[in-house]
Structures are given as structure tokens and as C-alpha cells.
Structure 1
Amino acid sequence: MKIHLEHVQPREMMPGYRGRLIHGENMTLAYWDVDQGAEVPEHEHLHEQIMHVLEGRFEFTVGGDKQIYEDGELVVIPPGVPHSGKALTPCRLMDVFSPVR
């Protein structure tokens, strides 16, 4: 199946986070446009997650370890580990989740 990302309608999943989600059989790929200052509250889930900062600066706390991620940097979040984040600038992010969300 061929998908053009620009044809996937973005949805505001939480304030300041507009996502385009593509679901496969075993994983979900999410592209986010994030407003500066938008936050993701601390949460955890059964999914393994890999976050890639495509553009911007994003403060991300994983298991109590707070770091700032910039263009081209990635972080792996194991299943069941609490994490939260905040966009320090406008950001474009990509998340991969497995299993599918």
C-alpha cells in the first residue's frame, strides 16, 4: 500500500500536538507537528517507542533522566518506563511504536 504523508489528515491528539499516524500490522509510525511549549504529561505504555527529532529542540524525560534532544537525535523508550516531554521550540517529531497502537 502506497501512502503519501501529506495526504494523511493530521489530528490534534493533545493540545499543541498534531499527528499523522500510519498503522501497520505490528507497528505504528507517528509524525508530529508540535507547538513550542506543548507538553506531554508523564505516562507509560506497553509499547516500545523510538522518538526521532526531525526538527527543533525537545526536552524529554525517560525514567527520571531529563535530556534535551535536537535535530537528528533519537531516544529509545522501553515498554513500561515512565516518560514525559516538552517542546522547547516548534518541533517535528517521528515516533515508532511496537506493537501497533
Structure 2
Amino acid sequence: MNISDIPQKELLPGIKARFVHTENNTIGFIELDANALLPEHAHIHEQTTQVLEGQLELTIDGVVQVLNPGMLVTIPSNTIHSAKALSFCKVTDVFSPVREDYK
């Protein structure tokens, strides 16, 4: 499978994603324009985020951290978090269980 063959969806202004769903996980290949904002939210899914390119400011349960390429973080289920792209970013998100809302 080639990632570029997966249809891209706009999640929010400046945030586009392609998703692969397995039996137990959803894997998101996310592109964020510089200054794109993902507002505070929480979900039942455990999430692992890895920055592939760019710089991402991630706030998890009130703690702000800046992620650079190669860095990753896990976000526990039902934990409030938000993000801001400090530059153009490519990020991989893995969610468990499957994100039915992204199908």
C-alpha cells in the first residue's frame, strides 16, 4: 500500500490526514500547515504521536512540550490535549481502539 493512494481528509483548517484502520488500531498520517491549531479535546482512545517532520507544540493535561522530528509521546485515554504546528509538520498518530469517527 502506498500512503499517497489513501484518500486525504481535511480534519480542520490546515490539518489534513490519511487513515489506515486495522482490527484494533487506527493509524493517521497527518499534515499540519504552520500555525494550524487542534483545539483542546479528549477521547476514549489511547494515542501515540510521533513527529516525522517539523515542530509541534503539544499540550497534554496542561503540560506544554515541543516535539521535534523523531520524538514521540503517548496520550492516555480521556486526557485533555491540544496541538499547534510551529512549522509545517508531518506526524503519525496511532489510536487504540479504532477511531470509528475517522472511517
TM-score, normalised to structure 2, is 0.94
Question: 2:65 and 2:14 mapped to 1: Cα distance?
Answer: 21
Report the counterpart of residue 82 of structure 1 in structure 2.
Answer: 80
Determine the structure 1 residue equivalent to 2:71. Answer: 73
Structure 1 unpaired stretches of 5+: none
How big is the shift at 1:68? Answer: 0.4
Matches within 5 A, 1:46-57: 46-57=44-55
**Match of 2:40?**
42
Aligned residues: 99
Counterpart amino acid of 2:53? E
Which residue of 1 is the match for residue 94 of structure 2? Answer: 96
Structure 2 unmatched ranges of 5 or more = none
- Match of 1:60, SS? strand
The whole-number CA distance in structure 1 between the counterparts of 2:65 and 2:83 is: 10
Task: Measure, in 2, the Cα distance between the counterparts of 1:7 and 1:52.
Answer: 21
What amino acid does structure 2 have at the position aligned with 1:49?
Q
Instruction: Work out which of the residue numbers 2, 7, 18 in structure 2 matches 1:4.
Output: 2
Runs of 4 or more above 4 Å deviation? none
Q: Secondary structure at the match of 1:61?
A: strand
Distance 2:97 2:7 in 1: 22
CA RMSD of aligned residues (A): 0.5
Please give the alpha-carbon distance, in whole angstroms, between the structure 2 residues aligned to 1:85 and 1:4: 27
**Letter aligned with residue 86 of structure 1:** K
SS at match of 1:80: coil
1:41 shift after superposition: 0.3
